[in-house]
Amino acid sequence: MKKESDLMQKIVSFSKRRGFIFQSSEIYGGFGSCYDFGPLGVEMKNNIKREWWNEMVRSREDIFGLDSSILMSPKVWEASGHLTAGFADELVECNKCKKRFRKDLLEEDRCPECGGELSEPRKFNLMMKTFVGPVEEDASTTYLRAETCQGIYVNFKNVLQTMRAKLPFGIAQIGKAFRNEITPKDFIFRTREFEQMEMQWFCDSKDADKFFDYWLDQRLNWYYGLGISKKNLKIYEVPKGELAHYARKAVDILYNFPFGWKEVEGVHNRGDWDLSNHSKHSGEDLKYEGFYPYVIETSVGADRSLLAFIAEAYQEVEGGRGEKSVKEVETVLRMDKRLSPVKIAVLPLVKNKEDLVKKARQVFDLLKRDFNVQYDESGAIGRRYRRQDEIGTPFCITIDFDTLNDDTVTVRDRDTMKQERVAVDSLTKYINLI
Ligand code: GAP
């Protein structure tokens, strides 16, 4: 147990030290479980989002993209059931220290902080309220969206008509969602502001089971393809009594985080819950050829999956990897090249030789059009390699004295540490091929 929490602590401090993730409003002491993605974190998160988008939208003819607004009519949330009991956590309050806890997360009947007696549970809605317009009155109250998919349902007809879509088809979007979580926990695992990547697949009800299995399979393969090992992923079918208010069936994809097996993605059969309720509340007919399509949903947090990808990739090697003798522990982020925040580091062998530095700058300029490249000339070359290994950079390109004669460089691979001599004018092709 201690080992696991140690690993999580290491990941948290690594994320800060190397510019992946900072606490929000840190100079003011932080702010209620919100986080900021630093220069490397934003690159990595963009890579995750791009991989998801390529897989779910760009590589298919039957899924369309969307970017709907965060603020919507409050009627959307009445219709979706999020303002009523459906979207609420059961809370208990400690009679002694007055702290509140989610009942479903408690392991015992007493307060986990002070051992005091707990109150009867009370429902607490998770929607974040806000006010639109200059006056804070009821008429202008709305909510920050708690799931991105509601923007998809209210645009179902728009997409159907403008894309001349035929069932089955999907609509996908990536965007922020907000929940007033009571017990935000485990770094960026559960936060109050997060980003979702959601796809809603509209189909005939008789095909729903078949597509549910199909999408679960597709989604598992996405993780495997990006380097998550099979032993660290498993599925969990949510029991009937614990299903969300909209779901007929739900399977969670669980990742083996350092703090235990936890949901990273949900695949849901939402039946006709959303389209029929929006039809009823809006008066707009959202049927397709006389019936309401069923919805199979895949929903993953961009931030939460980023944590899983970092946890999977993070490795410490005692005494180093033998490249040069190092006494200390060496950290390597062995992640899929497509997710690495920096693709290439350009390193002049020494920094005090003008023509070498000039050449390195030229190589940097050549590559920066196609890749995220970092230029680094400070410190011994071994140290610079290790700095890049630590942030998962797959390729280090070294410009040495031979480069000035034959226009070739060495390309070092992060995982094998093998170095290959490559001509400068074929570098882009070489990197793209690997
Ligand atoms: N539209 C369905 C839906 O929102 P969910 O199971 O509530 O379903 C789906 O959320 C995914 O969104 C989760 O698997 C998780 O990856 C992410 N997510 C949900 N709440 C989150 C939170 N408070 N912080 C970070 N990610 C969250």
Instruction: For ligand 1, atom 16, name the residue with the nearest CA.
Output: 301
Distance 157 CA to ligand 1 centre (A): 25
Could you tell me if the CB of 198 is within 6 A of ligand 1? yes
**Residue 314 to residues 225, 330, 333, Cα–Cα distance (Å):** 18, 11, 5
Alpha helices in 154-301 (DSSP H): 156-162, 208-225, 273-282
- Residue with structure tokens 């779901």? 247
**Can you give the pLDDT at residue 391?**
98
Could you tell me if the CB of 300 is within 6 A of ligand 1? yes
**Can you give the pLDDT at residue 389?**
96
Instruction: For ligand 1, atom 18, name the residue with the nearest CA.
Output: 301
Ligand 1 atom at shortest distance from the alpha carbon of 146: 4
**Can you give the pLDDT at residue 138?**
66
Instruction: For ligand 1, atom 19, name the residue with the nearest CA.
Output: 301
Q: Which two tokens stand for residue 155?
A: 């645009």
Q: Which two tokens stand for residue 254?
A: 């669980």
Q: Which two tokens stand for residue 232?
A: 């660290």
On the question of a cis peptide bond just before residue 168, with omega within 30 degrees of 0, the verdict is yes
Instruction: For ligand 1, atom 24, name the residue with the nearest CA.
Output: 190
**For ligand 1, mutation pick of 299, 300, 305 (most atoms within 8 Å of CB):** 299
Give residue-wise pLDDT tens across range 17-46: 999 999 999 999 999 889 999 999 999 999
Q: Which two tokens stand for residue 152?
A: 């998809």
Distance 299 CA to ligand 1 centre (A): 7
Question: What share of the chain in percent tops pLDDT 70?
Answer: 96
Instruction: For ligand 1, atom 4, name the residue with the nearest CA.
Output: 147
3-state SS, residue 169: strand
CB half-sphere exposure, 52, CA atoms < 13 A: 27
Q: Where are the domains of the chain?
A: 2-76+135-310, 84-126, 342-433
What value does the mean pLDDT of the chain take? 93
pLDDT-derived band at 1 (thresholds 50, 70, 90) equals very low
Instruction: For ligand 1, atom 25, name the residue with the nearest CA.
Output: 190
2 pLDDT higher than 80 = no
**Can you give the pLDDT at residue 3?**
56
Dihedral (C-alpha) 207, 168, 176, 33: value to the nearest 10 degrees?
A: 10
Neighbours of 165 (CB within 10 A): 18
Give residue-wise pLDDT tens across range 280-291: 999 999 999 999
Give residue-wise pLDDT tens across range 369-408: 999 999 999 999 999 999 999 999 999 999 999 999 999 9
Could you tell me if the CB of 153 is within 6 A of ligand 1? no
Over range 131-151, report the average pLDDT: 87
Could you tell me if the CB of 181 is within 6 A of ligand 1? yes
Nearest to 267 by CA among 329, 215, 314, 302: 215
Could you tell me if the CB of 302 is within 6 A of ligand 1? no
Over range 51-71, report the average pLDDT: 98
Question: What gap in Å lies between CA 174 and CA 188, rounded to an integer?
Answer: 17
Instruction: For ligand 1, atom 12, name the residue with the nearest CA.
Output: 301
Question: What gap in Å lies between CA 339 and CA 43, rounded to an integer?
Answer: 8
Question: What share of the chain in percent tops pLDDT 90?
Answer: 81
Ligand 1 atom at shortest distance from the alpha carbon of 195: 26
Nearest to 103 by CA among 242, 7, 305: 242
**Can you give the pLDDT at residue 84?**
82
Residues whose CB falls within 8 Å of the CB of residue 350, separated by 6 or more in sequence, listed in order: 356
Could you tell me if the CB of 179 is within 6 A of ligand 1? yes
Could you tell me if the CB of 303 is within 6 A of ligand 1? yes
Q: Is 325 exposed, middle or buried (0-12, 13-18, 19+ CB in 10 A)?
A: exposed
Over range 175-183, report the average pLDDT: 91
185 pLDDT higher than 80 = no
**For ligand 1, mutation pick of 33, 48, 304 (most atoms within 8 Å of CB):** 304
355 pLDDT higher than 90 = yes
**Can you give the pLDDT at residue 103?**
82
Over range 121-147, report the average pLDDT: 86
Q: Which two tokens stand for residue 194?
A: 């997060």
Could you tell me if the CB of 194 is within 6 A of ligand 1? yes
Q: Assign domain 2-76+135-310 one CATH number from 3.90.180.10, 3.40.50.970, 3.30.565.10, 3.30.930.10.
A: 3.30.930.10
Could you tell me if the CB of 299 is within 6 A of ligand 1? yes
Q: What is the CATH number of domain 342-433?
A: 3.40.50.800
pTM of the model: 0.93
Ligand 1 atom at shortest distance from the alpha carbon of 268: 2
Instruction: For ligand 1, atom 7, name the residue with the nearest CA.
Output: 147
Ligand 1 atom at shortest distance from the alpha carbon of 184: 23
Instruction: For ligand 1, atom 11, name the residue with the nearest CA.
Output: 300
Distance 77 CA to ligand 1 centre (A): 17
Phi and psi based region of residue 386 (left: phi greater than 0; alpha: psi -120 to 50; beta: remaining): alpha
Ligand 1 atom at shortest distance from the alpha carbon of 301: 16
Instruction: Starting at the earlier edge strand, list the strands of the sheet with 260-271.
Output: 63-65, 169-178, 193-203, 294-301, 260-271, 249-257, 233-237
**Can you give the pLDDT at residue 173?**
98
**Can you give the pLDDT at residue 87?**
80
Ligand 1 atom at shortest distance from the alpha carbon of 252: 14
